[in-house]
Amino acid sequence: MLRTELGDLDEQIASTERALNDARAQRDRELLADQIEALAATIERAVPGFGGGAPAAMSGSTQMDSAVQGTNLRNASGFRALHWRPYFENTKNGVILVDIDSRALHYWSEDQSIYRLYPTSVPATDDLTRKGRTAVVRQTNALSFNQNVHLHGGVVPAASDGHPMQLIAPGGSFMYRYPNEQDAATLWYHDHAHGLSARTMFYGLAGMYIVEDELEDALDLPTGDFDVPIIVQDRAFNADGTLRYTDNIDEGFLGDTIVVNGSVSPRFAVRRALYRLRFLNASNAREYSLALSNGAPLVQIGGDGGLLEAPVSRSTISLAPAERVDVLVDFSRVAAGTQVQLTNGLGSGSTAAVMRFDVTGSRTTSGRVPTKLRPREEIPAPVRTRRWDLMFSTSGAPRWEMSGLGFEMDRIDARPALGTTERWQFVNRSHRKHPMHLHGVHFRVTERSSGVVPPGERAWKDTVMVDLDETVIVQPRFAPYPGRYVFHCHNLEHQEHAMMLQMEIA
């Protein structure tokens, strides 16, 4: 493919995108108020029949068995197998065109349609979301209320970021352009419609998006069946098996049942080999501390924004909402027939176990643990400091604030200069922890008032937990795209109760 033709195509896409954006953003803003009103009822109606059918059968080679262990389950007919399905339909001239629609609130309905319609993963074996190759995703909204798609951790033009006020109306569609110019990383995407996103996350509008690149290819890491996305969430159910959401502005939504890739307490048959497990915490508000019951180390190789400089061996890994960690786990030295639990040290009762690995077969070589990963990039020194005090306000209607501010569409709260870095201080002056997240850019965690920044947090990140009484300093790099992006707490009930501001990078 000639570069000039590629360039033309890119330009056509960009201008279509801009036109669509302007028209829709305007119309959708007007529709928004009504939509929010109607939301709760609509969502409840959109999830009929949950828990109706028999458990789905396993199929394919990287499927997680949906069978169940333990007694923490509300509804045995709700179990679902993992289902990974490629969603790319069309690749042409180096541009990937993806068509998705979103009857996705059928989360856990009869046919696991979420994985197809609002896909929950890009299989790592799919050679498609590679660095340097643009993906164009056309998202069609088949729901009855506004939605959009935000690529979390994606370094994408503002027009394709899925700003909370830039929405796709019911029946409409929108083309997002993902340049994939960033390094290999485990990204994810979710609905970000203002006022709705805590609920839509709970009902299943989320998925993983994996970017690969050549540096990573050369490392001989486990791939294919040995590279497994693990999306951890918590849920609550009514007695009839339907999902039960409660809006808790203080703690955020906390469910009593853990699900992995949509399955309650799944077990996963692993070979005696090295595995790459990509963990994503896609819970609304719950934090996890992951460990293996056989005491085996979790060898962390990456975080939100991609690979670390070198692997870090850890016995436990905490995972705040929206964070990702990539780890290597060596099952090759575990005897066949062994069951290894993945536990959550922050849970109790039904939230203490996450899933189980059943070790089978003979030893297989699937890759190795590299000694070096990605060299650390040099970045310019910060040009200024901004401070954000994280607070709960009860002076009016109770809400969460940053330095006395809550989300306002018509106000810009920070104007960083394109290409610079800054020092952002998140000062926790509240009684809850806050996983703070910036759109559009990555940052380094440079200081934690509670102690040193752990080695697992030293690669590029986009979400960082700010503990009680803690001040965390991060250094975002505002590049390469100008434009308006939000930053917010990723406890989604906090976010929806105003803990979100806007920056304009220029």
| Nearer of residues 210 and 334 to ligand C2O, judged by Cβ | 210
| Per-residue CA distances from 490 to 45, 161, 285, 292, 365 (Å) | 26, 16, 7, 26, 38
Distance in Å, CB of 188 to ligand C2O, minimum: 7
Question: How many binding residues for ligand C2O (CB under 6 A)?
Answer: 10
The Cα–Cα gap between 412 and 79 comes to 45
Beta pairing class for 382-393 and 399-402: antiparallel
Listed residue (442, 477, 446) closest to 460, CA to CA:
442
Listed residue (107, 105, 108, 115) closest to 55, CA to CA:
108
| Nearer of residues 192 and 356 to ligand C2O, judged by Cβ | 192
- Does residue number 402 form part of the binding site for ligand C2O (CB under 6 A)? no
Distance in Å, CB of 437 to ligand C2O, minimum: 5
The Cα–Cα gap between 367 and 365 comes to 6
Token representation of residue 81: 């197998």
Residue 192 interacts with, from Cu ion, ligand C2O, none (CB under 5-8 Å by kind) = ligand C2O
Among 235, 278, 437, 448, contact with ligand C2O (rule: CB under 6 A): 437
Are 149 and 187 in contact by the 8 Å Cβ rule? The answer is no
- Does residue number 439 form part of the binding site for ligand C2O (CB under 6 A)? yes
Among 488, 494, 497, 501, contact with ligand C2O (rule: CB under 6 A): 488
Among 201, 292, 317, 489, contact with Cu ion (rule: CB under 5 A): 489
**For the residues of 77-124, what is the DSSP string, one character each?**
GG-----------EEETTEEEEEEE--GGGTTSTT-THHHHS-S---T
SS3 287: coil
- Does residue number 444 form part of the binding site for ligand C2O (CB under 6 A)? no
Among 113, 148, 491, 502, contact with Cu ion (rule: CB under 5 A): 491
Distance in Å, CB of 485 to ligand C2O, minimum: 9
Distance in Å, CB of 488 to ligand C2O, minimum: 6
The Cα–Cα gap between 503 and 484 comes to 6
Of 35-43, 235-243, 358-366, 483-491, the window that binds ligand C2O (rule: CB under 6 A) is 483-491
Binding mask 312-351 for ligand C2O (x = CB under 6 A): ----------x-----------------------------
- Does residue number 434 form part of the binding site for Cu ion (CB under 5 A)? yes
8 Cβ neighbours under 8 A, 6+ residues apart: none
Classify residue 184 by its DSSP letter: S
Are 473 and 425 in contact by the 8 Å Cβ rule? The answer is yes
- Does residue number 434 form part of the binding site for ligand C2O (CB under 6 A)? no
The Cα–Cα gap between 316 and 372 comes to 21
Give me the amino acid identity at 90.
N
The Cα–Cα gap between 161 and 143 comes to 20
Residue 322 interacts with, from ligand C2O, Cu ion, none (CB under 5-8 Å by kind) = ligand C2O
- Does residue number 194 form part of the binding site for ligand C2O (CB under 6 A)? no
Binding mask 134-163 for ligand C2O (x = CB under 6 A): ----------------x-x-----------
- Does residue number 192 form part of the binding site for ligand C2O (CB under 6 A)? yes
| Residue 376: other Cβ atoms inside 10 A | 12
- Does residue number 190 form part of the binding site for ligand C2O (CB under 6 A)? yes
User: What are the residues binding Cu ion (CB under 5 A)?
Assistant: 152, 434, 439, 489, 491, 494
User: What are the residues binding ligand C2O (CB under 6 A)?
Assistant: 150, 152, 190, 192, 322, 437, 439, 486, 488, 490
